Amino acid sequence: MRIVFLGPPGAGKGTQAQRLKDYLGIAHLSTGEMLRDAEDTPLGRRAARYMLAGQLVPDDVVVGIVVDRLTGKDCARGCLFDGFPRTVPQAEALDRMLAEREMPLDLVLALEVPEKTLVERLSARGRPDDDCETILERFRQFNSLTQPVLDYYGRRGILRRIDGDAPPDEVFNRVRRAVDEAMASNSP
C-alpha cells in the first residue's frame, strides 16, 4: 500500500505513522526526519534555515530526497509518506514518481486536531522549531500551502479525515479502521 499522512504540526503524523508502519510492515518516509538526519550535509544545512524559521523547505530539495529514498528496496512492499507532500507541486511530483513505478496511491489520511491542542502538544515537546513564534509560522504555512493538498486528494476520492483529538491508541484504532476499509475495497 502507498499511504500519505497529512495534518498540521503536532497532529500526530509521526506517532501514528510509526504504529501503522509496524502494523503494515511497510517503509516509513518522514521528510521532516530525513531533513533533520541530513543536518551535517550542505543540503541539510540549507534545509535547517527554513525549518528553524517554521517555513517549508523548497520543493526541489524535498522532492529530491524522496526520489532517492523511493529507490530503497524496503519501499517495494509499500510506503507511508509522513509529512509529504505538503504543497500541490509536491503532490504532482509524487504522482509522477509513483506512476513511473506503476504504484498507485491508495489512501490519504488527514489527522484533524484543534489548534489549541496542537499548541499544547508542541510546547510540551520542545524541539528547536517548537517555540511559540515558529509554531505560529508553521501553522500559517500549513494553512496556505498544505490545505490545498487536502483539496487535491479530496477531488480524487482517496482522502479520509480522522479525528486526531484523542489518546494515541484511540486515534490509531481510527487509523487502522480506515486502512482496513481501504485495503478491503482495493482487493479484487
Footprint on this chain of ligand AP5 (rule: CB under 6 A) = 7, 9-15, 31-32, 35, 50-51, 54-57, 62, 83-86, 90, 121-122, 125, 129, 138, 167-168, 171
Distance (Å, whole) CA 88 – CA 121: 27
Residue of 2, 13, 21, 174 marked active site = 13
**CB closer to ligand AP5, 126 vs 188:** 126
CB 109 within 8 A of CB 178: yes
The least distance separating ligand AP5 from the CB of residue 97, rounded to whole angstroms, comes to 13
Residue of 49, 77, 101, 127 marked active site = 127
**CB closer to ligand AP5, 73 vs 125:** 125
Q: What are phi and psi of 79, to 5 degrees?
A: -140, 145
**CB closer to ligand AP5, 79 vs 185:** 79
The least distance separating ligand AP5 from the CB of residue 133, rounded to whole angstroms, comes to 13
CB 27 within 8 A of CB 84: no
Closest CA to 94 of 156, 50, 142: 156
User: Which residues pair with residue 30 across a beta bridge?
Assistant: 82
Residue 107 cell numbers, joined: 489512501
Identify the H or E element spanning 112.
Answer: strand 107-112
**CB closer to ligand AP5, 24 vs 90:** 90
Closest CA to 111 of 160, 155, 55: 160
Question: Based on the number of CB atoms within 10 Å of its own CB, is 187 exposed (0-12), middle (13-18) or buried (19 or more)?
Answer: exposed
Is residue 21 part of the annotated active site? The answer reads no
Residue of 73, 116, 125, 155 marked active site = 125
The least distance separating ligand AP5 from the CB of residue 75, rounded to whole angstroms, comes to 17
Is residue 19 part of the annotated active site? The answer reads no
Is residue 86 part of the annotated active site? The answer reads yes
The least distance separating ligand AP5 from the CB of residue 181, rounded to whole angstroms, comes to 21
| Residues designated catalytic | 13, 86, 125, 127, 138
